[in-house]
Amino acid sequence: MSAFQGTRMNPSKFHRSQLKFLAFLIPLAIFMALPIVYIFFHAFKPIDELFAYPPRFFVDNPTFQNFVDLFTKTNDTGVPMSRFLFNSVVVTLIVVVLTVIISTMAGYALSKKNFRMKKAIFEINTLALMFVPAAVMIPRYLLIDELGLINTFLVHILPLLAMPIGLFLVKQFIDQIPDELLEAARLDGASDFQIFVRIIIPLVKPAIATIAILSFQLVWNSIESSSLYVNDEGLKTFSFYMSTLTSTVEGNNVAGQGLAAAASLIMFVPNLIIFIILQSQVMNTMAHSGIK
Amino acid sequence: MKKKPNKRDYSPWMFLAPYIIFFTTFIIIPVAAAILLSFTYFNAIETPTFIGLSNYVGLITQDEVFMQKILPNTLTFALIVGPGGYILSFILAWALAQVPKRMRTVLALIIYSPSMTAGVAMAVVWTIIFSGDETGYLNSLLLTMGVLLEPIQWLQSPEYLMKIMIFVTLWGSMGVGFLAMLSGVLNINTEIYEAGYIDGISNRFQEIIYITIPSMKPQMLFGAVMAVVGTFQAGAIGVALSGANPTPQYAGQLMVNHLEDYGFIRYEMGYAAAISVVLLIVVYLFSKVAWRLFGEKD
């Protein structure tokens, strides 16, 4: 054996030899976190600090004024901000729940059932992992128009329900469940539906958590449906409203910056909290994420 | 299940039906429609008329903006952000795997967090940081340090817009693919490393090339596909940053913006559909390269 000490993956405790990785990782992590930390500070700055020259990174006298302004603000057509937030929350909840159910059901069928076209369907889905929705926005628009979904609440929801990556991850995860377990349940007289609810769902919780996060990020951040398919201001979502604040920021509208930062924070924090709660489940799922 | 599928067993379809319905409606049909429309002239009011390959011919021979700006921009952007973000993800995942769990979790969270809201929602923050007058953070910093004598209109300048787009996108590119690679590195059996050393591997570089990457090919492929998709998805960033479509002197114009320009601003839907098809083919080719590198069959 050579004198060279092999890499120690997943070490259990700290050792001096890890310093070189930390010397690289910590500065980089700090650098990457800067814009996010910046939103935090900016959102709590009172108006005189927003105007301060030279601009300062930290906040001296934090205030909730920006949030108060944001919540009491209405847009040009008189729709209050809370309406956008309400729309976003409702849409997000519905999409996340339905995506999880739809993907898990399909994953169960593709993993544990035998039928013709099973392989073909999974192959098509794997191919669809490369699908870039933005590429087909025009036919999508025409289709949504044809289906009469323009200016409806459903248009925020329906296009996002089929998530190829969700089906892919959950199917890979269900593959790990031994067939014998399902066979035993079947012999005990469990129906398909019971097997799905009592065995599959509890066992694939990590994958479900992962799909939930991914679909949450997709729908919560999405502005496509509001900007393209909805004209009725009262039906638009918070992320869209927030993207319109960008134009307010231009032209040196410094007061607008505080609002924009507060709105960014409202966009960001739910993502962060959900990910922190579910991160260990996500890592567990990712171990099975490989495309073979 | 071992049970032979008999003709009456419709149960797989019951479980699959909702997914297939939405998948077909919002993914398959739009792709098929894009292909069909790309052979027509369609202005969204009259019925489409079949014009054969004219849209494609026009795209290649007559659309100067497309050949001179859009295509080079898209390729530059994709070639830097795609492989760049991917390699960075892998290096970060590899380094993270070698620190203890608690520290790793915190660092991974920080590195992953930009990807959670990256894209258009974050454009607001970037517009403030890169703001064009002396109150912009970057300008102010560089002016104080004496690097600049007068503020630069970062987001309106054709010279810098593309660089900023690349930077911002790279910043937010440690997403799902990064997480997959991290768990890939962590799940490699340590015995493989020991065997590798007996077989004469003598440094870390060889270790990565001969052991780490081959042992996590499936995750590498998954990460690569995610990197490709993420790159082309990020197309809207230029318009979001500069606040205009087309972007100043087309400096940050990517295929996604060009297609939006023709589809929703000029209402040349057939032509826009041809751009869609070209874009889908480009994405597919990029992914194909990833498949060649890491796929197990093929």
* Residue of B126, B179, B200 lying closest to A286 (CB–CB): B179
Check residue B261 and give its pLDDT.
Answer: 87
Check residue A235 and give its pLDDT.
Answer: 92
Q: Name the residue among A130, A132, A128, A170 with its Cα closest to residue B290.
A: A130
| Size of chain A, expressed as the number of residues it contains | 292
Contacts of A239 in chain B (CB under 8 A): 120-121
In this structure, are residues A100 and A215 in contact, taking their beta carbons and an 8 Å threshold? yes
Check residue B119 and give its pLDDT.
Answer: 60
Distance CA A187, CA A196 (A): 15
Quickly state the pLDDT bin for B297 (edges 50, 70, 90): low
Quickly state the pLDDT bin for B92 (edges 50, 70, 90): very high
In a domain, B124, yes or no: yes
- Chain B residue closest to A158 (CA)? B22
Q: For residue B84, what are the contacts with CB-CB under 8 A and spacing of at least 6? A: B166, B170
In this structure, are residues B81 and B226 in contact, taking their beta carbons and an 8 Å threshold? no
In A9-154 the beta strands, taken as DSSP E runs, fall at none
In a domain, B147, yes or no: yes
In a domain, B214, yes or no: yes
Contacts of B280 in chain A (CB under 8 A): 132, 135-136
Check residue A288 and give its pLDDT.
Answer: 82
Check residue A92 and give its pLDDT.
Answer: 96
Count of A-B CB contacts under 8 Å: 337
Residue B2 above 60 pLDDT?
Answer: no
Q: CA-based angle B90:B96:B98, to the nearest 5?
A: 115
- Could you count the other beta carbons within 10 Å of the beta carbon of residue A218? 18
Q: Give the sign of the dihedral formed by CA B66, CA B72, CA B75, CA B78.
A: negative
Question: How far is the alpha carbon of A221 from chain B, nearest alpha carbon, in Å?
Answer: 7
Residue B7 above 60 pLDDT?
Answer: no
* Residue of A22, A26, A162 lying closest to B19 (CB–CB): A162
In this structure, are residues A242 and B124 in contact, taking their beta carbons and an 8 Å threshold? yes
| Whole-number percent of chain B with pLDDT over 90 | 32
Structure tokens at B186: 């962590």
Residue corresponding to tokens 């600049």: B148
Q: CA-based angle B211:A286:A224, to the nearest 5?
A: 125
Structure tokens at B116: 């959670």
Q: What is the mean pLDDT of residues B163-170?
A: 91
Low-confidence ranges of chain A (pLDDT < 70): 1-8, 75-76, 246-255
Structure tokens at A16: 């001096």
Q: How does DSSP assign A174-196, residue by residue? A: HTTS-HHHHHHHHHTT--HHHII
Identify the structural domains of chain A with CATH numbers, from first to last.
Answer: 22-63 (no CATH), 78-286 (1.10.3720.10)
Check residue B298 and give its pLDDT.
Answer: 42
Distance CA A69, CA A253 (A): 15
In this structure, are residues B70 and B250 in contact, taking their beta carbons and an 8 Å threshold? yes
CB atoms B23 and A125 under 8 Å: yes
In a domain, B191, yes or no: yes
* Residue of A132, A214, A243 lying closest to B121 (CB–CB): A243
Q: What is the mean pLDDT of residues B22-38?
A: 94
Check residue B278 and give its pLDDT.
Answer: 92
* Number of domains within chain B: 1
Written in H, E and C, the secondary structure of chain B is CCCCCCCCCCHHHHHHHHHHHHHHHHHHHHHHHHHHHCCEECCCCCCCEECCCHHHHHHHHCCHHHHHHHHHHHHHHHHHHHHHHHHHHHHHHHHHCCCCHHHHHHHHHHHHHHHHHCCHHHHHHHHHHCCCCCCCHHHHHHHHCCCCCCCCCHHHCHHHHHHHHHHHHHHCCCCHHHHHHHHHHHCCCHHHHHHHHHCCCCCHHHHHHHHHHHHCHHHHHHHHHHHHHHHHHHHHHHHHHHCCCCCHHHCCCCHHHHHHHHHHHCCCHHHHHHHHHHHHHHHHHHHHHHHHHHCCCC
Check residue A43 and give its pLDDT.
Answer: 87
In this structure, are residues A18 and B100 in contact, taking their beta carbons and an 8 Å threshold? yes
> What's the whole-model pTM score?
0.87
Question: How far is the alpha carbon of B77 from chain A, nearest alpha carbon, in Å?
Answer: 16
- Chain B residue closest to A112 (CA)? B1
Residue B127, domain extent? 65-294
* Residue of A109, A137, A223 lying closest to B260 (CB–CB): A137
* Residue of B99, B112, B233 lying closest to A132 (CB–CB): B233
In a domain, B30, yes or no: no
Distance CA B58, CA A169 (A): 41
Contacts of A53 in chain B (CB under 8 A): 134-135, 140
- CATH number assigned to the domain comprising residue B81: 1.10.3720.10
CB atoms B124 and A103 under 8 Å: no
Please give the torsion angle defined by the CA atoms of residues B20, B24, B26 and B32, in that order, rounded to the nearest 10 degrees: 160
Residue B201 above 60 pLDDT?
Answer: yes
Of the ranges A197-211, B119-133, B185-199, the best mean pLDDT one = A197-211
* Residue of B5, B226, B259 lying closest to A115 (CB–CB): B5
Check residue B110 and give its pLDDT.
Answer: 92
Contacts of B202 in chain A (CB under 8 A): 2, 4
Q: Name the residue among A214, A219, A229, A207 with its Cα closest to residue A281.
A: A207
Check residue A49 and give its pLDDT.
Answer: 83
In a domain, B29, yes or no: no
ipTM field:
0.88
Q: What is the mean pLDDT of residues B163-168?
A: 91
- Chain B residue closest to A213 (CA)? B116
Higher pLDDT, B294 or A8: B294
For B148: left if phi > 0, alpha if psi spans -120 to 50, otherwise beta; the answer is beta
Higher pLDDT, B259 or A256: B259
- Chain A residue closest to B241 (CA)? A246
Q: Name the residue among B176, B78, B161, B169 with its Cα closest to residue B118.
A: B169
In a domain, B79, yes or no: yes
Distance CA B38, CA A236 (A): 31
Distance CA B210, CA B208 (A): 6
Residue A134 burial (C-beta neighbours within 10 Å; 0-12, 13-18, 19+): buried
CB atoms A279 and B263 under 8 Å: no
Mean pLDDT of chain B: 86
* Residue of A28, A134, A165 lying closest to B256 (CB–CB): A134
- Chain A residue closest to B178 (CA)? A286
pLDDT in tens, B207-223: 888 889 988 888 898 89
Please give the torsion angle defined by the CA atoms of residues A3, A6, A7 and A13, in that order, rounded to the nearest 10 degrees: -80
Residue A167 burial (C-beta neighbours within 10 Å; 0-12, 13-18, 19+): buried
Check residue B122 and give its pLDDT.
Answer: 72
Contacts of B18 in chain A (CB under 8 A): 101-102, 105-106, 161
State the amino acid at position B162 in one-letter form: M
Residue corresponding to tokens 């040196």: A252
CB atoms A7 and B31 under 8 Å: no
Contacts of B110 in chain A (CB under 8 A): 29, 32-33
Strand partners, A80: A74
Higher pLDDT, B297 or B228: B228
Structure tokens at A225: 């449906």
- Could you count the other beta carbons within 10 Å of the beta carbon of residue B265? 11
State the amino acid at position B277 in one-letter form: V
Check residue A216 and give its pLDDT.
Answer: 93
Residue corresponding to tokens 């994953």: A107
State the amino acid at position A74 in one-letter form: T
Helix (H) or strand (E) holding A98: helix A81-112
